[in-house]
Every structure is written in structure tokens, then in C-alpha cells.
A and B are shown apart, each in its own frame.
Chain A
Amino acid sequence: MTALTADRDRTDDRAAPLGAPGRDDGWSAGRTVLWVSVAVAIAAPLVAALDPAVPGRTLLALAFVLMVPGVPLAALLRVPNTLLSASLAVGLSISVLLLTSAAQVLAGWWHPTVTAASVGLLSVVTAAVALERIPGSGAGVPATLAAGGVAVRRWVQRAGRADAVGTPDRSRLATWTRPASPALLLCAAASWWVATRQVDLDDAGALGVIGVVGLPYVVALVLVAVVGAVQLTRRTLDGPVLAATAVVLTVVVYGFSNVADGQAGVSVGWLHVGFSRFITEHQASFVGLDARAYWPSFFAAGAVLVRLAGVGDASTFLSLAPVFYNLAAIAPLLVIARCITRSRRLAWASVFVYLGGNWFQQDYFSPQATALLLYLVVIAVLLWMLSRAGTPPTAGSWWTRAWLAARRRPALPPGVTPRRSAAWELALLVLAMAVVVSHQLTPVTLVFALLTFTVSGHTQYRRLWLVVSLFFLAWFVYGATDYWVGHLGTVLGDLGNPGGNLDTAVGSRVSGDPTYQVMQNLRMGWSLLYGLAAVAGWWTIRHRREALPVAGLAIGSGALVLLGSYGGEVVLRVFVFAAPVLAPLAVLAVRRVAAPLLRRPGRLRLVAVAAALLVLGLGVTTTRGVNVAFERVTDDDLAAAGAVYDRIQPGDVVGTLAATGALGREHVGEWLPLDMSEAGCGREALACALVEQPEFIVVGRTQDVVGQLTADRPAGWTTEVADALVERGLYQVIYQGADATALQLVDQEG
């Protein structure tokens, strides 16, 4: 049996957690990370309080968000799996930030620095307790820090240990690929950087980003694919190099457009910046202005982060948000994939497949991206427990088995005490509560997932779904009253209408320019292929005990279609939630289909895997970047918005011909948007402007492209509208750039 076709890896979960016994390096690493968390917990609030202009303050604030108080809490939880422990540390830190931020907004007591200091103090105390419980060498902080570098490296290495039975031979890692792989990855990063400097996204049309990426980008992907293939096919997995490969792939694919453009794309992300700014300025949520105001925790957390980092607004975090969210997902994804595939090698392959299929563009600076990360951590914990604990078998007719399965309670993982298991459940509840107060849709998927585990009898936490359901329902019914009072018909109207919801989600996305239609169909085909491969992969594990909950997780995500169209995005959301499960299942299918090829040693196997990785990289580049021509935000978009902000008065109306750009960045609630498209206004854009006479009109390249691609408009149609308005003397130009123009109603100045 060769490496890629090896089904089992019996070296699983030997990695030490933060503070697990039995491994000196594990202890040292745990102590090191705890000490670092203590330093961050003290420094970040202190710097925020003193407010000095020091370099690295933004990184310190990000470290606070990701480590405090999650690291000491995870250490106390003592989950005997390094990746899971790290995932919990990050997830708990983010959850505490979300919950405390929401509490400040709801209580009308907005003191982010004081709250951060309190959380930091709690974290320090928790870390002290954790350090007390972790046996140390007594060598003190310097020795601990010195050991940390080596230990952390070993942690990562363990995550990628061999599929071979028994303890891997470390000498096998010392081959030519060890120095060559990082060198190639550096070359890939350099080539990618060249690509970002050379590309001109102005030329991206119906083909999207794939039409303009250029040779250096392809070279970068080829190099990443080669390194990935070498690492995936070698006898002994090299965890650090695989992790580095995944990191470089993530940066290459998910950072390209934003880095190339110099500004973050997706206008909704800029609106989220505006929401955070509103909370900073008003110390309250934007109730009455947007439905998202009733799930304010993400935006409040963004405002806290802005305060800690000492930056102007949350736009600092926009550009690299997709890279961050996808990188942060790797650890829980590895755990999930490991549980489904029962192989570390296939788990790493699943990560690459996930990264190659995540075209959905839901990883911008947003509540859903954050909630998805927390969702992944919860699922990873439950699947890991399932894979480690014994489950009583059931017998009899199908309904007898179903009844017994629903009533059974699996054993605890070996070495886990009931009290520790209860503490884990509490941690999961904290994660779930953070999800509930952050996003509307993710809690529903989470409840489906928890219910799946309960009904199939694969979780200790049999009432967790009920507690989360009650909290979600209470939040919706009592916390978001003003929202559903005005929208209940909309909320409930789509219930149980999957056909209509699918039509809204899919049909509305396939229209306009023929090439653009082909690209949209390519997206759906890419996902369909993904889904079909996953179904085939599930068939190969249908007799395993994890088959039922895994199927439940995928079906539960799909059940969102029953609930509503969600603004035409429900299919996207279904895939977003299902992808972490679909990826490992798809890998299992590919492994089965390509087994004859993968069993053949030598270059053919290597080339096949490299080609597959390259196809994935190019595939996600293509599908993800289809809309880049109008989803991007240019410097001129920002400048035009700035010109409007300089003149805007409360109550003014700002018209746009399509919902692009960055107008939402500031003054949320002070101005009224006017959709001047035919669909939004009921008449042609020019006629709409003449009738409605908004105080400001912003047009630009991205709006122009929307019309060209989705409504067969000629190039320059937005400019024609603007020119006509200026020629009539009705509007004057207050900003004009190559990519955007801002107009102001002349009468207003007169």
C-alpha cells in the first residue's frame, strides 16, 4: 500500500495539547504560549489605554483577539489534540470578544479598553492557574521561551506525521525536499508578488480574474502544486512544509485581488467597516438602519479591534481578511478531515481541496466568516470526540436502531474525565452563543449539526442543540423584535419553498453577457462536481459509524434552502457550510477512483497529484474571481466617496447605478441610498436622476461593468448618464477620476 492510498493512520492524536502530560517539548511549548498570552493580555490593553503611536500595535491587537483569553482557557480544557486545542484557543478568544462587545453595545456601556483590560486580567489569572497545573522544569521564563521555538515546530510537525504505522522515522524527513520545498515556496511567493504588481484588474471583464492573472501567477501556482505533490506523495509526511504550502496557496489565491488592487474588494465589507465606525462614534448599535443591527457583536468587536489597534477604522483589516479566515480554518479543517478520512495524508489533501473549492467569496470582513470559523471549531470537537469514543452498537429493525441510537450516549474519549468533558461542553456553548449573537443563518446550521450528532447518538452533549436553539430563538424573538415586526412576512414567506428559493439563488445569477453566463455556469459546475465527488466519497464510508453524522452535516447545510432565499445567496451559504465536510469526502472519492494511478510509485503519481493541485488552484482562481471586475473597490471609488462625505448633510440622498464601491464606509445612517438602476428605481437611470434628484450621484467603472455583464449595457453607459446630468446643469462634478466620478446637485449649493 502506498502513501496516498493508505487508509489508516494509527499515529493519530498523539500530539500533546497545551499542557498535556508525557512530552517535555509539549509542556515547554504550552508554557511558552501561555507566557506569550500573558504578555499580550497585559500589553494590548495597556497600549490602548496609553494610546502611543508605536509600531506593531495592530499586530498586538490582533494577537489579543486571537489569544486572549482562549489560550489559557484551552490549556485548562486539556484537549489531547494539538490542532483542536489551538482551534479552541482561537475560537474561544474570538467568542469572548464577540460576547463582551455585544454586551457593551446592549448595555449602553461602551468602554472597549476597560473591557479588554478586564478580559486580559481574567486571562492572566487563568494563565496563572494553567501554568500552576502544567509541570515545569523550573528553568523560568527564558528557558521556556528558548524551548518554545523548537517545541512549536514539533507541534506542527506532529500534525503532519506519516501514515505509516508506528512512530515516524525523523531521519526520513531529512531528504532533499526539506530545503528544496521552502525554497520553491519562496519562489512561488516572489512570483506571486510580481504577478500582483503586473496585473491590471481594469482589464478583467466577463472572464474575471483568470483572464488577466498573467504568467507569474500561474508559475506561482505551479510551484505550489509541485511542492504540495512532493509532500503529499512522500513516504513520511512533513507537517511544517505541508503547512507552509497551504499558507502560500492561501495567500496566492485569496490575497491576490486585494493585494493587486491595493484595496479590499466586496463593497459589503466596506459597509461593515461603516457599521463598526457607527458603533465607535455612537457607542450603540445602528438599530433601525439595517437588519444586521440586531446581531451587532461582530461590528462591535470590529470597533474594539480598531480601538486596540489605534487605527482609523476597520478598513485596515479588510484586505487580508480572506487570507486570515482561510488560514484560521486550516486547523479545524484538518481535524474534521482527519476524522472523516482517518488519514493525515488525506486530511492534508482535503485542506488543499477545500482551498481549491472555496470560491464563494464569503470570507471577507464579515459576521458570517467569523461565525463559520466558530462553527468549524464546534464541528471539529464533536467529530474528534466521535472518532475517539466508543459508541454502543444498535440492533433490530431500522426504527428500533434509530430509537436506540437517539437515546444512547457514547463513551468519553480515553483519558477524559466527566468533569473535563463538561468543561468542553461549556466551551462549545460559549462558541455557540457567540455565533448566535453574530449572525442570523449560522446558528440555524449549527443547531442542525448539533441535532445530527444527538439523533445519531454520537455525542455526549445530547441537550446542547436544545440550549442553543432556545438561546437563538430568544435572541431572535426578544432581541430582534424591531427586525421581524417589519420583515416577518419576508422571513417566513420563503419557508418550505425550496424550489422558489433555489430559483432565486441560481436563476438570478445566470444572466447577462454570454461569456459571463458561461463563467457563472462554470462556478455552479465546479460546485456540482465537488458535491458529486463528495456523494461518491461518502458511499465509500457508508458503513462507518461517522457516515451518518457526516451525511447529516452535509444535508443539514442543504436544508437551509428550506428556510429562505437569503437574498438569493442561500445556495452559496449551503456550500459554505457543507464544504468542510464535502472536501474530505471528495478526496475519498478521488482516492478510490485514482487508486491504480496513485499506487504506482515514481514520477507519474507525482505528476498526477501536482496536476490535480494545479487544476484546483486555477479552478478556484477562475471561479472565485469571476466577479472581480465589479466586486473590486478602486482608489477612485474611495476618493469619490470621500468627496461626498466632505459635503454630505444629514438626510441627503446618494444615488448609484449599481451597489458597488465603498460608500458604506462612513456616515452610516446619515444619508439615504438610492438605487438608480431600472430594477431599483422603476425607470431608466437618467430619468430616475431627473425625477428623484438625489443630492449626490456616484458612478464608476465597477457600476459600468455591472451593467455590461448583467444587463447588456454598452461600455461607458454610466459615464453617459453622468455627462447628461452635468450638461443639463443639474449636477456638478465634485470628484473625477479614471475609475469613479462623484456629482452634486447644483441646486443644493445655490
Chain B
Amino acid sequence: MVDALAGWVGVTVFVLAGLLALGLEARDQVLRAGPARDVVPERRRSPVLGWLLVVLVVAALAAVAVRFAVYLG
């Protein structure tokens, strides 16, 4: 499990985090941004995705720590 987390699981987490961040960014750009947008954004329609991104980023950082520990330990 540790080896997997240091390897392909970690890569997968990175890919998922990157894709989700890109997806959220694209959603914000295409659906929410606009010339008239001069105010603080309203609440996101789906805060769950935002929190999921946070979890994935934390998991990615954890995967980095595990990989360092496995290879250097």
C-alpha cells in the first residue's frame, strides 16, 4: 500500500487534482466570468467540488511525503 501510494496512486491523485482544478477553472471561466462581473463572486453552485479539490491537493502532498519517505528512508 505504501509503495502504491508512493507510486501509481500518488500519480493518480496528482492527475485527479490537476484535472479537477482545471475543470473548476474552466467552469468559472466559461459559466461565471464576464464583463459585468465587478463584484465578489456569489456562492459557488457546488461547494462540494471545491472541498474535493482541497482533499485531493492534501492527498497529493501526502503522496509526496510518502514517496520521499519510501525512497529516502
Tell me the residues in window 409-443 of chain A with beta carbons closer than 8 Å to chain B beta carbons: 409-412, 414, 416, 418-419, 421-422, 425, 429
Contact check, B25 vs A463: say whether CB atoms are below 8 A apart: yes
Which chain B residues border A176 with CB–CB below 8 Å?
A: none
Tell me the residues in window 8-25 of chain B with beta carbons closer than 8 Å to chain A beta carbons: 10-11, 14, 17-18, 21-22, 24-25
CB distance from B70 to the nearest CB of A (A): 10
Known: A418-B30, A422-B30, A425-B29. A411 touches B64 (CB 8 A): no
Question: 1/0 contact trace for B11-45 toward A, CB 8 Å?
Answer: 10010011001101110111111111111110000
Contact among B11, B22, B26 for A478, CB-based, below 8 A: B11
Contact among B10, B29, B36, B71 for A422, CB-based, below 8 A: B29
Contact among B21, B22, B34 for A418, CB-based, below 8 A: B34
Q: Check if A467 is an interface residue, CB within 8 A of chain B.
A: yes
Which chain B residues border A474 with CB–CB below 8 Å?
A: 11, 14, 18, 60
CB distance from B34 to the nearest CB of A (A): 6
Known: A463-B21, A485-B71. A421 touches B29 (CB 8 A): yes
Give bound CA distance, A595 to B10, whole Å: 58
Which chain A residues border B72 with CB–CB below 8 Å?
A: 485, 488
Which chain B residues border A462 with CB–CB below 8 Å?
A: 25, 28
Which chain A residues border B41 with CB–CB below 8 Å?
A: 407-409
Q: Check if A608 is an interface residue, CB within 8 A of chain B.
A: no
Give bound CA distance, A416 to B37, whole Å: 12
Contact check, B14 vs A473: say whether CB atoms are below 8 A apart: yes
Give bound CA distance, A422 to B29, whole Å: 6
Give bound CA distance, A408 to B22, whole Å: 19
Give bound CA distance, A336 to B37, whole Å: 25
Contact check, B34 vs A463: say whether CB atoms are below 8 A apart: no
Which chain A residues border B18 with CB–CB below 8 Å?
A: 467, 470-471, 474
Which chain B residues border A485 with CB–CB below 8 Å?
A: 71-72
For the side of the interface on B, what is the size category? 20 to 34
Give bound CA distance, A419 to B24, whole Å: 14
Judged by DSSP, the binding face of A is: helix
Give bound CA distance, A466 to B25, whole Å: 10
Question: 1/0 contact trace for A450-472 toward B, CB 8 Å?
Answer: 00000000001111101100110
Which chain A residues border B67 with CB–CB below 8 Å?
A: 477-478, 481
Contact check, B25 vs A461: say whether CB atoms are below 8 A apart: yes
Known: A418-B29, A473-B60. A481 touches B38 (CB 8 A): no
Which chain A residues border B35 with CB–CB below 8 Å?
A: 411-412, 414, 416
A–B complex contacts, Cβ < 8 Å, 26 sampled: A392-B38, A392-B39, A408-B41, A409-B33, A409-B37, A409-B40, A411-B38, A418-B31, A418-B32, A418-B34, A422-B30, A425-B25, A425-B29, A429-B22, A462-B25, A463-B22, A467-B22, A470-B14, A470-B60, A474-B11, A474-B18, A478-B14, A478-B67, A481-B67, A481-B71, A488-B72
Residues of chain B touching chain A, judged by Cβ–Cβ distance below 8 Å, are: 10-11, 14, 17-18, 21-22, 24-26, 28-41, 57, 60, 64, 67-68, 71-72
**8 pairs of A and B residues whose beta carbons are closest in the complex:** A422-B29, A474-B14, A463-B25, A418-B33, A470-B18, A463-B21, A467-B21, A466-B21
Q: A461-B29, A462-B28 provided; 15 other pairs, C-beta below 8 A?
A: A392-B38, A407-B40, A411-B34, A412-B34, A418-B32, A418-B34, A421-B29, A429-B22, A463-B22, A467-B21, A470-B21, A474-B11, A477-B68, A478-B67, A481-B71
Residues of chain A touching chain B, judged by Cβ–Cβ distance below 8 Å, are: 390, 392, 404, 407-412, 414, 416, 418-419, 421-422, 425, 429, 460-464, 466-467, 470-471, 473-474, 477-478, 481, 484-485, 488
